[in-house]
Amino acid sequence: MKRITIAILLLLFSYFFVSPQLFGVTSAVECEDNKPKGRPILTSAVPGEESVTLTWIEGQGPITHYLVAYGRTNTEVEYGNPYIGSQGTTTYTVESLTKGVKYYFKIRPVNGCRTGSFSNKLPATPGQKTATDLVTSKSVINKPNLSLYKPVLGESVSKTSTAEGEAKTLIVAATNSGQSPKCTTCMGWQFLIVEIMLLILYFSLAKRFKFLKQIYSILIPIIMYVAFWKINQGCSLNDFSCKYYIPLNVISFMLVLIVYKNKYMKLIKTGSNKK
């Protein structure tokens, strides 16, 4: 029983004081803000000499502010501004554009650390006030693949920033349009199952090989803990197994250790009785 207590204390100490600093592991931050429910409708994109004025109808909140994204093709996002106004803003002028170049614009609502759905997309060409540029949206275009772009959460870019400067704040995260995001689903149960299997294997081998001390088994949950954070960085920890991974990890280790100890003690007693 004394060895079990020491093993558990070492395990907890490693979780909270050793492994995060040693391996540079940081916990994924969980966003508690609600995602904007509605989708804004971009109603017009009116070109100026070197600018385009956007007008839209607000979507359903909650909304803290809006961002704008635009590019020179219908599918590519090259530039953007992470803050073009707070809730209630329905117009914004994008400055410092290249005259004669056609741009495609869309806006997106943001609530704290949660981004909502993009609006429909409208084209405009600075310096050419033609009927085709004064577009009024009557239908909503299919949503783009939002996973390809970094969420813009900062609010440091002013309304007068240039397109080149804005490009640094909203750049395409994947150079290939078919590339998937870095993390989609948090893996918790998988690590716990693998940990239990490794512990059972270790204790089975420990019966045959004397150099495999019981205390060394603590390395298995520590390694699984580090691997868990490394692989799940950037993932949402809403899943039960991910949200409570540390206590579940400790419980798994304790259960396997206790079962092993009880079984091992029974074998010793059985051997003693035979003698």
Mean pLDDT of the region 69-89: 90
Give the mean pLDDT of the chain: 73
Residue 121 class from Cβ within 10 Å (0-12 exposed, 13-18 middle, 19+ buried)?
Answer: buried
**106 pLDDT band (50/70/90 cuts)?**
very high
Edge to edge, the sheet with strand 41-47 lists 41-47, 52-57, 91-94
Backbone angles phi, psi at 62, to 5 degrees: -75, 145
100: left (phi over 0), alpha (psi -120 to 50) or beta: left
Q: Is the pLDDT of residue 189 over 50?
A: yes
Mean per-residue pLDDT for 231-253? Answer: 80
**What pLDDT does 274 receive?**
53
CB-CB contact of 7 with 217 (8 Å): yes
| End-to-end CA separation in angstroms for the chain | 25
pLDDT score for 27: 45
pLDDT band, very low/low/confident/very high, at 93 (cuts 50, 70, 90): very high
pLDDT band at 11 (very low <50, low <70, confident <90, very high): low
Band (pLDDT 50/70/90 cuts) for residue 111 is very high
Task: Identify the pLDDT of residue 270.
Answer: 58
* pLDDT band at residue 26 under the 50/70/90 scheme: very low
Which pLDDT value is given to residue 186?
80
What mean pLDDT comes out for the span 61-65? 90
Q: Is residue 172 predicted with pLDDT exceeding 50?
A: no
Out of 54-63, 108-117, 263-272, pick the least confident. Answer: 263-272
pLDDT of residue 125: 94
Q: Tokens for 199, please give them.
A: 């512990």
Any idea how long the chain is? Answer: 275
pLDDT confidence bin for 273, thresholds 50/70/90? low
Are the C-beta atoms of 57 and 66 separated by less than 8 Å? no
So what's the pLDDT on residue 142?
46
12: confidence class by pLDDT, cuts 50, 70, 90: low
- Give dist(CA 74, CA 72) in Å, integer: 7
Question: What is the dihedral sign for C-alpha 150, 154, 160, 165?
Answer: negative
Average pLDDT over residues 71-77: 88
Instruction: Check pLDDT > 50 for residue 180.
Output: no
Please list the residues that pair with 122 across neighbouring strands.
Answer: 105
pLDDT tens per residue, range 124-160: 999 986 554 445 444 444 444 444 444 444 333 334 3
- Per the CATH hierarchy, to which homologous superfamily does domain 41-167 belong? Immunoglobulins (2.60.40.10)
Range scoring the smallest mean pLDDT among 75-79, 108-112, 176-180: 176-180
Cβ-contact 157, 65 below 8 angstroms: no
Residue type, 253: F
**pLDDT, position 146:** 42
Of the listed ranges 83-97, 124-138, 179-193, the least confidently predicted one is 124-138
Band (65; pLDDT cuts 50, 70, 90): very high
